[in-house]
Chains A and B, each alone.
Chain A
Amino acid sequence: MCAYAIQVSGSSMNAVQRFIRSKVLLLTAAILIAAMCLSVLVQSQSQAALNRTVDENSRGLYDVLVQAKASSGTLLQPEIATGTGGIGFDQLEAIRKLSGTAVAAPISLVSRVTQNLETPRLDAMDFLGYNSGLAGTATADQATGATAPDKWPAAESVLTDEAKKYRLTASAVSSDGVSEQTLFKSSAEGTLGKAKLLEEKAGGGSSIRIAAPEDETGIKFPSPAGGSEHNLFNLSVALPMAPEVTESVVAVDPASERALLGTAGDFLAPLEKAPPADARNAGAVGRYFEGLFTNGIDLSELEEGPDFLGVKLKYWAPLMTQYQQAKRTGELTGDSQAIPLVVRSGTSLDLTYNVKIEEIDDAGKVVNDVGTVSRSLGKDYLPFVSKDPFVLSWPGSTDHSSLLGSNGNFNQGLYTPAKWSTDFSAAPKYQDGETAANGAEGKTAVPGEWVTVNRLPEKSATGGPVDQTQREPVDERSYRDSVATGQKLAAPLAMVYGTFDPAAVSQAAGDVNKLPLGGYDPTPFSLVKDAEGKAANAELQPSLSATGLASQSAGAITDYYGLAAARGYTENAAVIDAVRVRATAPGSWKEAQPEVEKLAADIRSMGLEATVVAGSAREDASIFVPGYSKDDAGKESALGTVQQSWVRQNAADAVTGSLSGTNITLLFLTLCGAALLTGASTVSYIRKRRTEAGTLRAMGWTQRRIRSWVLAEFGVGAILLAAAGALLSLLSWSLTTVLVTAAVLVLYAGAALFAAQQLRHRDVVDQEPQHDERLIPVDSPLTFANRQLATNKFNTLSLAIAVGVFGAAVGGLISLLIDIPRAAGASALSGLAAASVALPSILLAVAGVAVGLVLTLVTGRFELNAKRQYLGILAAMGWNPDMLRQVRLFENALVGTVALPLGVLGALGIGLLLAPYAALWAGVAGLVAVLCWIPIATKVVQ
């Protein structure tokens, strides 16, 4: 660089000294270097953090989801086991043989099984106590833990010696979390009293019997419910039927499923040991167990479960009760198979059975409210295993039956054979709606046909017809199409091997890439807007009310032999709904992506749909549900809008791109700020040096030499910028940094040329016209301020732009702070990734605010001396301090008025670019920032 020594202000300085002396140029260079440093920060740190986040969260249990048909949309429905099949076992084997396949786990919906929860009852304590006759009876078969008869407590009862009249009202209620639905309600009346032991003489001896009081009529609900009866320890009233509960059953390959789930799949170990199809004849299995009991089995073995082909079958009772029932009714045929099941522990089905007990007089008037007792299905409920979960106890009762000791779990399990249905299960039909600002898809659920699902069993436990008028059938929207096979199958028997916890499976699947595992971990729904469009907040639960949308985990898991037994398919039928494939390629998503893509392509070449789900992420889908319920007049009403977590394909790429775009946007904004600052400082520089340039011209300097004099000073800054850019480019090894450096240098060079051009020319003789009388006359501080600004349009506009940039930057920062998690998109992965780059983004935004502030200061300095001068003149002519403050305030207010549109619109634009949800807040923040600047600047000028 050449340095020109000049004589200015009595001192000789070279270009470097002049550059340092010119604080404006020094400040500009420093800020531009800071902008470049920020670019490096963004490009290296945030991008690395982003990639790391995406990699860590974009590869779940499996990489490719194989289905028979292509999904039309980019969102996958949360429940994929539809029962429609489409993939054959030969195709499954072909997938497994692909070199890139590590695990290929098939899954299908087997059936929907209706369980009969009949025989609910109300037990009223009516303990008769010890007497000699009862002792002889009770001790004849004394079981483990029985209490010696002479130590039994005294007789007690909740009933009175003289029978009283009672009214029992039984009802069942189900709730989906939004509304309650009374499934049925039925009342019965009669008299009940304390029983007595009567010894009756008969031929050959005497007998002991339990006799009701003479005036007792008992209480009997309509058939098939039985009447009341006295027992040794209680009075038992048979209640109306419990609602049916339908559970879904899915089929998996236990071995591959365990490989997929890892230790979380250990619950499938018993199923893996289940016998093959030819060893599952229900009759043979039933006879085997009958043999065990016939030959004798001790109680401990019963409690642990008898050994069945190497598996301790703890829940043997359901099979035996079904076996005996089916044998008695003739439903057991030679083709009947025992289907091994692992059942879900607990239930999320909201179903409560209530009995209200009232003492009444002869006229039916209530004289004493005894109380209401209720029971609900809960965590202890096991599908296929819990036989009568609705045994209710009269208020104040004590169960004395334990005096006889434990008699084992013989009463456990299905009382009648479960009804297996193949009427299922097309996936819900959705229509695409509008896409929200964050990319969330809006959907509309297409209604299916109405079906009656809440019905009583066709037959009672004794085989008699059931009075369906006991309760009103509830219509429920069904989203499933019938795909009946048309084949009449032999009734299969449920054979329970163990239990599983769906929450544990869901947890093992992870959060980000938690793709549906096929019906045993369905994603919950939540109602976000009601039918009127008002905001709502309710989790939709599975219920027997009108909610066809909410579903619970599959009641049971079986294998493909079980599916064959229930559906009756022949060999190699295409009954697999989906195959979840994990690729052999190790490492992060980015590392494995090429091989996963190749594997998906190989699978597609088989004529199957292969969706690469690695790199996907959870995303909320809004679903509008019309025709959710129907009143007595048949009028349908909508449920509203529900939200469910679906899966966004290619979320990783989208998020990476989106966040990269965000960073580039921020970078661009920073450079814009730097450009504005450079412009402002250049103008300031020109104003400061104009006098010196005139002096140099007077000393005989040529225009060329003056230009060189200016360019030399800028050259020092350019060298600094270039050095910093080169260093940063080497450190970051990023093309972006090189481009940013080049852009900054171009900007700086442009400013230098502009300054040189301005300073080398002589001042133009003032050609200003005479005063225009059309101007607003100056008669107040406001009009004076207006005239001052109008006289200095360039500076006014520069300051207004600076203030606008400041407002926009503040708005951008606010929007980022408010909406960082969703700054770059909508999915959960976006949130994680956005959070990983939150700090650099905020730093950039803060830098933007700083640039805006510096801009206002630098620009404001242009006129500071001039302001001081004319404020001094006004003061000298008697303008008081308040009027001078008004002048300053009005000036800044007018500048703020010009800056407002830029600040607000700029903030809105930045908000829409970076954080759409907070764009409005960004605009408001921009407005507030500009408004706040006005009094602050007024104070500063003072």
Chain B
Amino acid sequence: MTNPTNVQRSRRGGAGEVPLQTRANTIVKAADHATPLELSDITIRYGGGKGGAEAVSVVEGFDLTLHAGEMHCVAGRSGSGKTSILTVGAGLTLPTSGRVFWEGDSLESMGDDEIADRRRALIGYVDQGGALIDGMSALENVLLPAVPDGEVDQRRDMAKDLLDLVGLGRRMRHRPAQLSGGERQRVAIARALILGTRVLVVDEPTASLDRASANRIISILKDTTSDGIAVLVASHDHELVRLSDTLTELI
């Protein structure tokens, strides 16, 4: 279904477009510790198990090095493996092969608990559509990541500030059902930032949003990079693609 060849282009270090590069079969070493996220030779296949379904290769030999303050966009058509790359990068799923480094540390050597703890400190993940917990207000949703560390009260003001930042300071008592799609997405971004994350992983943040709402989201994401936060975003929004520092286009 997907062309196994991944292509990458980069604008970092130059104004013009960098020619497409084939990255298959390249050995990638872990970058220095300042590199918050690195994906090395990632291959993701689905199917081929006991059910007899034919194995489908979604991504093959994908490499990515994401630097602080950089926004990298993974673009491509539906089903090309954008979300898969994001979940692998966020440590939510394991790749079929390849390695994931968080600040130079390979996830292979970590247990589930350590991955969860490191993810909480390092990565903020924003699901497609901004998945929120029903029955909880926008403020409570934003504070949820602080629960494991028992810092709900300490982070309450910060949560309010973040909601203000994303333009929802007056909607913090509303529940997800009472928010629009764009508002839910912004709440999810605020939630991803509550623990001072260094990598923001965002899946299709502007899908099914009007242009104005999409631009607002894009602006927020862009602003976060200025604070040194690396952003890995999956999207086929042209504006988002245009504003991202680096781009991987899956074909």
A residues whose Cβ falls under 8 Å from a Cβ of B: 766, 768, 770-771, 773, 777-781, 784, 787-788, 790-792, 866, 869-870, 872-883
Contact = CB atoms under 8 A, between A and B. Distances in A.
B135 to A, nearest CB: 3
Given A766-B178, A770-B175, A877 B152 contact: no
Interface string B110-138: 00110011011101110100011111110
A878 B112 contact: no
Given A766-B178, A779-B152, A877 B145 contact: yes
B117 A779 contact: no
A792 B135 CA distance: 8
Contacts of A879: 116, 120, 147-148
A881 B119 CA distance: 13
A877 B112 contact: no
A770 B192 CA distance: 23
Contacts of A869: 131
A778 B147 CA distance: 8
Chain B residues touching A, range: 35 or more
A784 B147 contact: yes
Contacts of B116: 875, 878-881
B164 interface: no
Nearest to B177: A766
Top 6 nearest A-B pairs (CB, nearest first) are A878-B120, A791-B135, A771-B137, A880-B116, A779-B152, A876-B125
Contacts of A770: 137, 173-175, 178
27 contacts: A766-B178, A770-B174, A771-B137, A771-B140, A771-B173, A773-B173, A778-B140, A778-B147, A779-B152, A787-B135, A788-B133, A788-B135, A790-B135, A791-B134, A873-B133, A876-B119, A876-B125, A877-B120, A877-B125, A878-B116, A878-B120, A878-B195, A879-B148, A880-B113, A880-B117, A881-B112, A883-B148
A281 to B, nearest CB: 106
A880 B115 CA distance: 8
A784 B145 CA distance: 12
B144 A768 contact: no
B198 interface: no
Nearest to B125: A876
A628 B153 CA distance: 77
A768 B113 CA distance: 37
A876 B201 CA distance: 10
Nearest to A781: B147
Contacts of B148: 878-880, 883
Contacts, number: 94
A787 B136 contact: yes
B191 A877 contact: yes
Contacts of A787: 135-136
A204 to B, nearest CB: 128
Contact of A873 (B131, B135, B140, B143): B131
Contacts of A875: 92, 116
A788 B141 CA distance: 13
Contacts of B117: 878, 880
Choose among A779, A874, A882 the residue with the greatest number of B CB atoms under 10 Å from its CB. A779
Nearest to B138: A771
Choose among A766, A768, A778, A787 the residue with the greatest number of B CB atoms under 10 Å from its CB. A778
A872 B152 CA distance: 20
B175 A768 contact: yes
Given A877-B145, A880-B112, A881-B113, A779 B127 contact: no
Choose among B144, B178, B192 the residue with the greatest number of A CB atoms under 10 Å from its CB. B144
A34 B104 CA distance: 61
A778 to B, nearest CB: 5
Contacts of A876: 90, 92, 119, 125, 127
Interface string B196-214: 0000000000000000000
Contacts of A866: 134
B133 A870 contact: yes
Contacts of B16: none
B150 interface: yes
Given A876-B125, A877-B120, 16 more contacts: A768-B175, A771-B136, A771-B139, A778-B144, A779-B153, A780-B147, A788-B135, A791-B134, A869-B131, A870-B134, A877-B145, A877-B192, A878-B121, A879-B116, A879-B120, A881-B116
A881 B111 CA distance: 10
Contacts of B143: 778
B119 A771 contact: no
Choose among B116, B120, B139, B178 the residue with the greatest number of A CB atoms under 10 Å from its CB. B116
Interface string B5-40: 000000000000000000000000000000000000
A872 B145 CA distance: 13
Contacts of A790: 135
Nearest to B112: A881
A275 B250 CA distance: 124
Contact of A877 (B134, B144, B178): B144
A768 B177 contact: yes
Contacts of A877: 119-120, 124-125, 144-145, 191-192
B23 to A, nearest CB: 27
Interface string B142-160: 0111011010110000000
B129 to A, nearest CB: 11
